[in-house]
Amino acid sequence: MPHIKVKGVSKYYGRVKALQKVDLDISDKEYVVLLGPSGCGKTTLLKIIAGIEYPSEGAVAIGSKDVTAIPPEDRDIGFLFQNYALFPHMTVLDNTSYGMIARGERAEKSQRKALEMLRLVRLEGRNDAFPRQLSGGMQQRLAMARALATGSKILFLDEPMNALDAYIRMQLRVELRLLCKKMGLTAIHVTHDQEEAMALADKIVIMKGGRIQQVGSPKDVYMHPANPFVAGFLGEANFLRVKFERGRASLLGQEVRAKFSGEYVAVLRPEHLCLGNGGVDVEIVNTRLLGPFFRYEVDYHGLRLVVRATHAKDKATHLTFKPKDIIFFKEPQEGLEKAISID
């Protein structure tokens, strides 16, 4: 079964360090999402695992086999590209069966397998259509069928939903995960979309500057971020500087206690701030209804904070929080602004 191990992988383009000493374990049948800002190295890592690029240092193993120097066509993988890479002059059925025929499969067997995959992605009625006659969502499902038709147990997905509108993207996320689980696939998916990562992943790999910042389940990396960058990149966060003396500090009018002293950064998620009775006076300066919740921006003595709530509020109100919801980090040596920057 395709357990994947990346050990000490670096990639250099001249003086540019795209990846730096990356270690990663991916278990069989796991859906792993590589998440990070543009230029963080996630696509480079995907291509090295797939064999499209080779590392400057380090090794990649699939199962017990070292595949570091093996080309992609010999790694038994399926690949779903950002632009789908469909053949415009071929029908839906021919697009789906092409990879199998190119590998030497008999036409009859290839067509039978292609029809099975098209039924799986709900395109069985469009066998004779051409890609230009399909919607964006259908083209994505066609590209998926072609990747699955190879019979590989490893699927690579490089920003596959970028070109789709929000509604279709939301639908296909559910279908994609269910499909991979149904077929027992190991999936490695690259995206910069935090919501997409949270919806799809068994395990999220958050990257910045060619390095892995944290690996964990969506719940783990959201509730227990490893550093300020992860806290700020995965969902919204309020960052407040706080100084502890003898284990005590004041934060938004409340006393908080800790087992440490010195300068720290306190992180409060918007949903952990409460607008209501008690607490400090704040002024609501901006309100947006975002589907099931309201997003408020409030002002507290010149400090701008984001609050998420399920109910409407007036212009002026009070703000409270529970100390147990605070995440603390030591003040970063490089400064908070640089630590949370996506550059």
Q: Report how far apart, in Å, the C-alpha atoms of 112 and of each of 150, 257, 331 are.
A: 12, 66, 60
pLDDT single digits (tens) 129-181: 999 999 888 888 888 888 888 888 899 998 888 767 778 788 778 888 988 99
Per-residue confidence band for 78, with pLDDT thresholds at 50, 70 and 90: confident
Question: Is 140:172 a contact under the CB 8 Å cutoff?
Answer: yes
Question: Is 297:304 a contact under the CB 8 Å cutoff?
Answer: yes
Tokens 């009625």 belong to: 125
The confidence score (pLDDT) of residue 1 equals 56
The confidence score (pLDDT) of residue 174 equals 84
pLDDT single digits (tens) 85-140: 788 999 999 999 887 877 778 878 888 888 888 888 888 889 899 999 998 888 88
pLDDT single digits (tens) 274-296: 998 889 999 999 999 998 899 99
- Does the pLDDT value for residue 231 go beyond 60? yes
Alpha-carbon gap, residue 5 to 7, rounded angstroms: 6
Question: Is 263:251 a contact under the CB 8 Å cutoff?
Answer: no
Alpha-carbon gap, residue 36 to 19, rounded angstroms: 13
